[in-house]
Amino acid sequence: MSEIRKILVRAPEKIGEQIATFAILQALAKTIDSINIDIVVSAELPYAYDYADVFLTNHKLPAEKDGPLGIFPWVHANNDIFSVDTYLDLLNAKGSATLGIALKAKRRLGFATTLTKATYTHSLPIDETPEFFDERGFKLLSLLFDGEMPAQIKGELPKFNDKEQMQIKSLGDFLFIGIRASEWQRHQEIWRTIFDELAGGSVVIAIDQDIDDHSARDWPVKRKSEKFFVMERAYARTDLMLMAGARGILTDSALYGNLAPYYGLEAVILAFDLNDYPSYSLFSPRQHILLERNQNIVGAINHQGEKIEADIKSAVDQIFSKFRL
């Protein structure tokens, strides 16, 4: 498909689903020389593409414009997204189906209902939509690419400069912990147990500030020391550098929990909300996932998908065993 020069992707809304599209974007970049990739995301929702391993141009779509009537004036007001020749709809909503028409894209791909089928040039029935988001994108692109795309994709971490590598070495042998601010109240018992067990060990804590609530930050900050370092805000390059340099990753955040397997990093995911994990299947092994029920850890799923019993103490023991702490 050498005639593809500029593709615009309508991104899904959840963090994990966005990270699931990274493999699709990288496959496009590897398959088509000099391709320009644009991303449209909902302005009011979380945004994960700063962590992607391909160069993207992003556009924020306000909620009031995200519909059949609002999308045409929004496109005309944003002339930097003209000249799109291919449109990939990974949201599959009424407004997203119309966006390809508004862009006048020559090729428009999506999973179609009876009502939206006419808006696509290449489509599959909505009831054939795969469960995992990476499979969705590759299945749609198979309508254009016949065996041309890479058979396997692994996330490519940034190349860190000498100064950054020295900063990582100065931290020693550390564990990266990613805490989701919106889940702190529910999960603080297990986090406090883990922090108590880690006393004396080197830890870097990153706060996924997905809501404006500082309680998840304030408690770890009180424990700051030379071996207990707290990143109070998330920065993509710094996060990836710390995750790559750590002996392992422990997180209840959909951001870090989905980034880790994409980039092939050792992780334990406290998957209290299983809707967030995993959002993709093709290129990442199952991580060690713990489950929560009624504020207590009552079960765990290991990397083979086997469920085992685990209270908070035994769950912490599993974590320490996995990371050899």
Can you tell me the distance from the alpha carbon of 92 to that of 275, in angstroms, rounded to the nearest whole number?
Answer: 18
Span 153-171, pLDDT tens digits? 778 999 999 999 998 998 8
27 belongs to a structural domain: yes
Q: Are residues 21 and 91 in the same domain?
A: yes
Q: What is the CATH number of the domain that holds 311?
A: 3.40.50
| Segments forming the whole domain that contains residue 217 | 162-322
Query: Do the Cβ atoms of 186 and 217 come closer than 8 Å?
Result: no
Q: Are residues 196 and 106 in the same domain?
A: no
258 belongs to a structural domain: yes
Which alpha helices (H) appear in 34-120, and where do they start and end?
71-77, 94-103
Q: Are residues 137 and 176 in the same domain?
A: no
Share of the chain above pLDDT 70, in %: 84
Span 8-59, pLDDT tens digits? 999 998 888 899 899 899 999 988 888 999 999 999 888 899 999 999 999 9
152 belongs to a structural domain: no
Hey, what's the torsion of the CAs at 12, 15, 21, 22, to 10 degrees? 150
151 belongs to a structural domain: no
Q: Are residues 57 and 186 in the same domain?
A: no
Q: Are residues 128 and 45 in the same domain?
A: yes
Q: What is the CATH number of the domain that holds 137?
A: 3.40.50.2000
Across residues 67-75, what is the average pLDDT? 89
Can you tell me the distance from the alpha carbon of 316 to that of 193, in angstroms, rounded to the nearest whole number?
Answer: 8
Range with the poorest average pLDDT among 5-9, 228-232, 263-267, 304-308: 304-308
What is the separation of C-alpha 244 from the centre of its chain, rounded to a whole number of angstroms?
16
pLDDT at 10: 95
Span 92-110, pLDDT tens digits? 887 899 999 999 999 999 9
Question: How many structural domains is the chain composed of?
Answer: 2
Judged by DSSP in three states, 50 sits in helix
Across residues 224-228, what is the average pLDDT? 78
